[in-house]
Amino acid sequence: MPGPLDGLVVLDLSRILAGPTCTQLLGDLGAEVIKIESLEGDDTRQWGPPFALDADGTPTDLSAYFMSSNRNKKSVAVDLTDPEVQHLLHALAARADVVIENFKPGGLRKYGLDHETLCAAYPGLVYCSISGFGQTGPNRDKPGYDLMAQGYGGIMSITGEAAGEPMKVGVGVADVVCGLYAATGILAALRHRDATGEGQHIDIALVDATMAWLVNQGLNYLTSGVSPTRAGNAHPNIVPYQVFATADGHVIVAVGNDSQYARFCDYLGQPDWATDPRYATNTARLAQRDTLVPMIAEVLATRTTAHVIAGLEARKVPVGPVNTIGQALETEQAQARGMTITMPAPHTAKRDVRLIGNPLKFSRTPVSYRSAPPTTGADTDAVLGPLKKGL
C-alpha cells in the first residue's frame, strides 16, 4: 500500500544524525530518499562497534549508529569536487521535491548546490538547511554537534544530580528533535508548494531546536527570571514525581494531582500525609519537598519493585519500572506495537538486521519498511547511470 508521501523525491545531502533522522522519517512515509555520501561514506558508518558483520565475521560499513537513521534510502557515493558530479546532482535536484543538507552555512555554494542557486533554478523546490546555529546570527559559522547544542541550549544545566556536573541526555536528542522539527517544516512547506507552486528555504538550527524543547523549564525561567537548576530525577513543578529506590531496584512514581496523592498515601500506609496541610496540595508539597520526599523514600525502600507497581496500579496511581534498553525493547508492549523490526540484509552474516520501528500508526497509509540501511554507494550506478545517458 502506498505511503502518505509516495511519489515524493528527496535529495539528501545530510550526514550524522539530525538530517538522516528527518529523511528516514520521510522515507518511512513513502518518499524516495537518495542519500548522497562521500566516497568514504557517512561519518557514522565508522562509529562503532557494534557493526553488522559479514559472512566471514568481518565488520561491514553498517555500524549500529548508521543503521539507526538510514533505512529506506538509496546510497550514492560521489566526490562533490568533481564538476560532472555537481552537474549530475543538479539533474537530481531538478526532479526532486526536497533537498536537505547540513553543511556549514555557505558550504555548498562552491559546488553550486546551495539554496540560493537551486531554489532559483527550481522555484518549486523545498530546500532545508540544518546547521549548529542557523544561517544567521553571530555564531552562524561555528560548528554544531549534538553535545555542543545540549550545552549551549541549556538542557545540560538541568540534567543530572543537583551536586553533580552538568549532564548530557543519553542519546543525541538535540539532533533527533532537530530532525523531527525539520520533517515537520518540510511537510508544511510542501503543503504550501502544492497550493501555490512556490518552494522555499527552511533554516533550522540544532541550538534553536534545543531551546524550543526546554518547554516548561524554559518558561519557568521566562516567567520567574530565575534559571532552573539540576534536580536529578525530581520534577521542578510536581511532587512526588521522580525515581525512588526500592528493596530490589528502582521505581518511577508520577503523582500528577492531589487525588492521586491521597491514593498514594493510602498505599504507603500514611493516610494522614494526604490531609496534613503541609502536604495536601501540590503547591504545599513543592514547598515541603525536602521533608516529604525522604519520608516517602524511607517507606518505598522497604518494598520490592513488583510490590510497589502492583500496589499503585491497583490504586490507579501512575507508576512504572526503570527498564534497561534491552528490557524496554523486548517487552510485550514494544513487540505488540512493532517497535522492533527485522529487515533483510543478504550481505550480512545473519542475512538480516534488527532495527527500531517507526512509532506512527496510520489507519489508511501505514509506514513501510522497503529497504535496509544501504552499504556505501550501493545505488550509485542505478541512480546516476540514467542521468549520465540523458546529459
**pTM for this prediction:** 0.94
Q: What are the domain boundaries of the chain?
A: 9-214+332-389, 241-324
| Cα–Cα distance for residue pair 204/22, rounded to 1 Å | 12
At a CB cut-off of 8 Å and minimum separation 6, what does 317 contact? 253, 255, 260, 263, 264, 267
CATH for the stretch 9-214+332-389: 3.40.50.10540
C-alpha distances (whole Å) from 271 to each of 63, 67, 239, 262, 280 are 53, 51, 16, 7, 11
Is-catalytic flag, 175? yes
Burial category of 304 from C-beta neighbours within 10 Å (exposed 0-12, middle 13-18, buried 19 and up)? middle
* Lookup: cell for 386: 540514467
DSSP code per residue over 29-50: TT-EEEEEE-TT--GGGGS-S-
Burial category of 34 from C-beta neighbours within 10 Å (exposed 0-12, middle 13-18, buried 19 and up)? buried
Confidence (pLDDT) at 391: 64
Query: Could you identify the residue written with the cell 496511581?
Result: 317
CATH, domain 241-324, list 2.40.30.40, 3.20.20.140, 3.40.50.300, 3.30.1540.10? 3.30.1540.10
DSSP character for 111?
Answer: G
Integer-rounded Cα radius of gyration of the chain: 25
| Cα–Cα distance for residue pair 244/226, rounded to 1 Å | 27
Confidence (pLDDT) at 314: 98
3-class DSSP state for residue 368? Answer: coil
| Cα–Cα distance for residue pair 31/126, rounded to 1 Å | 14
For residue 207, give the amino acid letter: V
Task: Note down pLDDT in tens along the chain; length 391 residues.
Answer: 789 999 999 999 999 999 999 999 999 999 999 999 999 999 999 999 999 999 999 999 999 999 999 999 999 999 999 999 999 999 999 999 999 999 999 999 999 999 999 999 999 999 999 999 999 999 999 988 999 999 999 999 999 999 999 999 999 999 999 999 999 999 999 999 999 999 999 999 999 999 999 999 999 999 999 999 999 999 999 999 999 999 999 999 999 999 999 999 999 999 999 999 999 999 999 999 999 999 999 999 999 999 999 999 999 999 999 999 999 999 999 999 999 999 999 999 999 999 999 999 999 999 999 999 999 999 999 999 999 886 6
DSSP code per residue over 201-240: EEEEEHHHHHHHTTHHHHHHHHHHS------TT--SS-SS
Q: Which of 175, 208, 258, 272 is flagged as catalytic?
A: 175
Confidence (pLDDT) at 390: 65
